[in-house]
Amino acid sequence: MSATIAQARAELEAKTQQSQQISLDRAEVLNSGLAANLEMPHPVFIERGAGCYVFDADGNRYIDTSIGFGLHMLGHVHPVVEAAINERVPKGWMFGIHSTSQMKLAHLLQEASPCAERVVFCNTGSEATMYAFRAARGYSGKDKIALFDGFYHGAHDYGMWAADPQSPLQAPQAMPLGHGIPHVLQDLTLLLPYRHPAAFDLIRQHKDELALVFVEGVQSSNPQPQAGEFLRELQAVCAECNVLFGIDEVITGFRVAYGGAQQRFDVLPDIATYGKVVGGGLPVGAITGRADLMEVFTGIGARGGIFSGGTFSGNPLTMEAGAAAVGYLADHPDIYDALERRGDRLADAVNGFCSERDIPAQMKHVGSMFHMFFQGGALNSSRDAHGRNIAAEKGFYLHCLNRGVLVPGTQRAFLSAVHDDGVIDTIIEVFCESLADVHAEGLFVD
């Protein structure tokens, strides 16, 4: 097996000829923009998945730690989900208007999500967060939304902000992520420091303008196991200031616990958003929340009523797949214990290896979601991630891919219920070998 980046790249190129061809053909027809974060360190095109594996166009097998950007909690093509989809298809899979399939998943979500007195379905996590912002604005009559440095809530204009790295940590200034985001929206966004007490002062200062304080259950840009204390304090400060408090559970819902971050950290928001796992692998979004707040979804005639819609919202195919997956998780709570144990083992092994060899890299994880960072030292928030060892990082992912472990281009990685102990051993081995290789090649500059 190769030791240098150049050797790894040459090996990968030799065994992914079909992918190379598709990559060339694609350039003629398909703008990669929308799927840009699907890009691996080397273009591979996936043809099929099975359990914790995906197979590329050339038939190479990879352990998949993207697992559909975190959504296949049960792995690819789980028989229970497959059966639910197959059962629905002959009866019709898309009606637009309400179908009998919605109630099962709505009940499951209502039982699992502590804040869920009511449920609304849509089609993606981005849509869910967009609606949560609109609902909070409709209900409160205020316009400003507070978000946290390092957040990701989807691709709509209201979420396309990042902290200007030159701005102070305690008072991050929002700058648009790319062009095309109207500058006027900047006034509607208040950026807060993540896991920093200055956030509470800013909320108090802006409470009369704030419709919603919105935070990920666990920030995927920097998964912190101790996120709970901060979330509980946020809940208290929002209540004190009469500002709505929302948790984005698009990743954490049904992942960091069956009841998501709300259950894991014992925190109760006014509104929460979902996606990913909830659809059993088909496109989904959902908003859950307090009944009086969720009343705004009744229609524009209601008090604070908002418009919501969507041709595919609550479509029966997604609803059946989602109910099968979520129902299976409800019936098998032991899955969460195993994921927790395996996530800890993976992180302990990789972090132990790095400190033993003095390699400035570390894995952050909360249960089964993890993220590699290519620097040593404390990483309290994403502001601490300096990103200077890019060559080591890219090289690491290339080696991993060449050794048969696929880590998504977004660096947010996940285990599923079918990543068993043997698979974890392989991931540990591949990660450690790949770290050792990039270290030996001198790719850590900092």
* 3-class secondary structure, 120: strand
DSSP string, 293-333: HHGGGG-TTSTT------TTTT-HHHHHHHHHHHHHHHH-T
Residue from 63, 212, 251, 392 binding ligand PLP (CB under 6 A): 251
66 is an interface residue for ligand PLP by CB under 6 A: no
DSSP string, 343-403: HHHHHHHHHHHHHHHT-S-EEEEETTEEEEESS-S--SSGGG-----HHHHHHHHHHHHHT
**Site map (CB under 6 A) of ligand PLP, residues 145-174, x = contact:** -------xxx--------------------
- What is the smallest separation between the CB atom of 37 and ligand PLP, expressed in angstroms? 9
Nearer to ligand PLP, 140 or 273 (CB): 273
Residue from 60, 65, 113, 126 binding ligand PLP (CB under 6 A): 126
336 is an interface residue for ligand PLP by CB under 6 A: no
How far is Cα 446 from Cα 423, in angstroms, rounded to an integer?
31
235 is an interface residue for ligand PLP by CB under 6 A: no
371 is an interface residue for ligand PLP by CB under 6 A: no
- Within 10 angstroms of residue 269's Cβ, the number of other Cβ atoms is 30
129 is an interface residue for ligand PLP by CB under 6 A: yes
Which bin fits 162, alpha (ψ -120 to 50), beta or left (φ > 0)? beta
168 burial via Cβ count (<10 Å: 0-12, 13-18, 19+): exposed
Number of residues that bind ligand PLP (CB under 6 A): 14
> Residue 229 has what DSSP assignment?
H
Stretch that binds ligand PLP, among 94-102, 119-127, 184-192, 340-348 (CB under 6 A): 119-127
316 is an interface residue for ligand PLP by CB under 6 A: no
124 is an interface residue for ligand PLP by CB under 6 A: yes
Q: How many Cα atoms sit within 13 Å of 397 on the Cβ side? A: 26
* Residue 46 structure tokens: 């996936």
270 is an interface residue for ligand PLP by CB under 6 A: no
Stretch that binds ligand PLP, among 120-128, 179-187, 309-317, 344-352 (CB under 6 A): 120-128
Tallying the residues shown for the chain, one arrives at: 446
Residue from 56, 64, 248, 320 binding ligand PLP (CB under 6 A): 248
Residues that bind ligand PLP (CB under 6 A): 69, 124-126, 129, 152-154, 216, 220, 248, 250-251, 275
